[in-house]
């Protein structure tokens, strides 16, 4: 990973075919000042149930060429001022305030991250349903000027697609969480988080999917199923490495999520979604463009492609699959009047 690669935007020429293999484009564009910043949005320290100090945790990410990190201890707002004095550097590295607001309804664990909150958000007391508790958490985070993200919906089989789709005033959820027991793939009749995502998008609600570590253990090599760092992250497009700019870009969907695939370019216009992968020499790639109800609209085996909207897709998102199982999730673009909002 090189830090802050310049974004190369693909052109948006109208194409006769819905999908064509596109060459890597290097043309300058008005957005060429924007950079991609790599960051992890969900991390624990000894201030909750992590095994390492904030200093050790931040060091782990900084040494591996992440550009930002959100510390999200359970019901605890870890201070970042001292950490940024030690580790922060203009345009190179930033620690962002956060908290995993942690509650439950009955036996169902309900966790919502507050990103860039201005103050501690207490977990709600009471609430008559999963949805009510989630909504109180989201609203508490908003009142603290934070950006909410609903965590690991299938952990403890806590949040159904219906419930997730009804939460108001939130745009983000974890489509991938690197903790080993959060059931990303569903099972036993419960949909995977990608199926959940498509159901919610198809119902008309615009939701963006993030990938996170939820790292707890930076030590303990003897624990094979431990929640470790380096599993999932986001690349956020922003003109600067600043906390408010980063979370606002997340809420605009101006980012992609990854477990190891890096993009050369991602460009969504009103007429098309264009992608190209920063390829690894030993890997091969498949790109799927996905629309309403999770239907695969098109699949290509080249590392770059453009999908031109027909108008009736509802939304178009993309999934890039690398030959060793790494994935990038490109955020959905609403298409037509019936698209998600
Ligand atoms: Zn959690
Ligand atoms: Zn967590």
pLDDT recorded at residue 126: 87
d(CA 257, CA 281): 21
d(CA 326, CA 223): 23
Q: How far is the CA of 199 from the centre of ligand 1 (A)?
A: 23
User: Residue 9 CB: number of other CB atoms within 10 A?
Assistant: 19
Query: CB of 81 within 8 A of CB of 250?
Result: no
Mean pLDDT of the chain: 91
Q: How far is the CA of 245 from the centre of ligand 1 (A)?
A: 25
Tell me which residue of 303, 305, 288 sits closest to 21, measured CA to CA.
305
pLDDT recorded at residue 271: 96
Which ligand sits closest to the CA of 99?
2
The token pair at 278 is 């920063």
d(CA 54, CA 47): 8
pLDDT recorded at residue 225: 77
Q: How far is the CA of 205 from the centre of ligand 2 (A)?
A: 25
Q: How far is the CA of 38 from the centre of ligand 1 (A)?
A: 21
Which ligand sits closest to the CA of 178?
2
d(CA 60, CA 98): 18
Tell me which residue of 237, 166, 248 sits closest to 199, measured CA to CA.
166
Query: CB of 64 within 8 A of CB of 233?
Result: no
pLDDT recorded at residue 223: 73
- Mean pLDDT of the region 123-133: 95
Which ligand sits closest to the CA of 41?
2
CA angle 138, 238, 85 (to 5 degrees): 80
Which ligand sits closest to the CA of 213?
2
Question: What's the whole-model pTM score?
Answer: 0.90
The token pair at 100 is 């995993």
Scanning the structure block, which residue is given the tokens 């050790």?
56
Which ligand sits closest to the CA of 155?
1
Q: How far is the CA of 327 from the centre of ligand 1 (A)?
A: 22
Which ligand sits closest to the CA of 76?
2
Give the chain's length. 341
Which ligand sits closest to the CA of 152?
1
Q: Which helix (H) or strand (E) holds 233?
A: strand 233-238
Name the more confident of 238 and 31.
238
The token pair at 281 is 């020499």
Q: How far is the CA of 136 from the centre of ligand 2 (A)?
A: 18
Q: How far is the CA of 214 from the centre of ligand 2 (A)?
A: 5
pLDDT recorded at residue 224: 72
| pLDDT above 90: residue 338 | no
d(CA 156, CA 139): 23
The token pair at 109 is 């664990």
Q: How far is the CA of 58 from the centre of ligand 2 (A)?
A: 16
The percentage of the chain sitting over the pLDDT mark of 90, rounded to a whole number, equals 87
Q: How far is the CA of 316 from the centre of ligand 2 (A)?
A: 30
CA angle 3, 265, 307 (to 5 degrees): 160
Q: What is the pLDDT of residues 6-49, one digit of tens each?
A: 333 333 333 333 444 444 444 444 444 789 999 999 999 999 99
d(CA 52, CA 240): 29
Q: How far is the CA of 44 from the centre of ligand 2 (A)?
A: 6
- Mean pLDDT of the region 320-331: 98
* Ordered alpha helix ranges (H), the chain: 54-63, 81-87, 130-143, 161-166, 193-202, 243-251
CA distances, 18 to each of 272, 285, 296, 298, 339 (Å)? 9, 19, 13, 8, 19
Q: How far is the CA of 82 from the centre of ligand 2 (A)?
A: 22
């Amino acid at each position: 990973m090189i830090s802050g690669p310049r974004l190369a935007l693909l052109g948006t020429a109208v194409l006769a075919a819905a999908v064509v293999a596109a060459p890597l484009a290097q043309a300058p564009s008005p957005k060429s000042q924007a950079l991609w910043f790599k960051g992890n949005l969900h991390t624990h320290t000894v201030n909750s149930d992590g095994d390492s100090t904030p200093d050790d945790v931040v060091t782990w990410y900084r040494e591996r060429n992440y550009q930002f990190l959100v510390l999200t201890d359970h019901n605890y707002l870890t201070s970042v001022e001292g950490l940024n004095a030690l580790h922060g550097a203009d345009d190179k590295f930033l620690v962002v305030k956060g908290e995993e607001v942690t509650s439950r309804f009955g036996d169902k664990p309900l966790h919502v991250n507050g990103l860039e909150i201005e103050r501690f958000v207490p977990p709600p007391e009471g609430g008559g349903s999963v949805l009510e508790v989630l909504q109180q958490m989201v609203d508490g985070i908003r009142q603290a000027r934070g950006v909410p993200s609903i965590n690991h919906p299938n952990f403890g089989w806590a949040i159904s697609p219906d419930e997730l789709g009804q939460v108001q005033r939130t745009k983000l959820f974890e489509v991938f969480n690197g903790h080993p027991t959060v059931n990303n793939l569903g099972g036993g009749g419960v949909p995977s988080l990608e199926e959940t995502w498509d159901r919610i998008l198809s119902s008309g609600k615009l939701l963006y999917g993030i990938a996170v570590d939820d790292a707890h253990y930076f030590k303990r090599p003897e624990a094979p199923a431990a929640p470790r760092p380096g599993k999932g992250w986001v690349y956020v497009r922003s003109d600067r490495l600043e906390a408010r700019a980063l979370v606002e870009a997340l809420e605009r969907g101006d980012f992609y999520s990854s477990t190891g695939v890096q993009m050369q370019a991602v460009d969504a216009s009103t007429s098309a979604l264009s992608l190209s992968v920063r390829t690894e020499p030993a890997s091969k790639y498949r790109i799927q463009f996905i629309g309403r109800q999770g239907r695969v609209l098109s699949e290509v085996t080249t590392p770059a492609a453009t999908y031109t909207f027909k108008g009736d897709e509802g939304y178009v998102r993309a999934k890039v699959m690398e030959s060793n199982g790494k994935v990038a999730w490109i955020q959905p673009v609403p298409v037509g009047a019936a698209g998600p909002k």
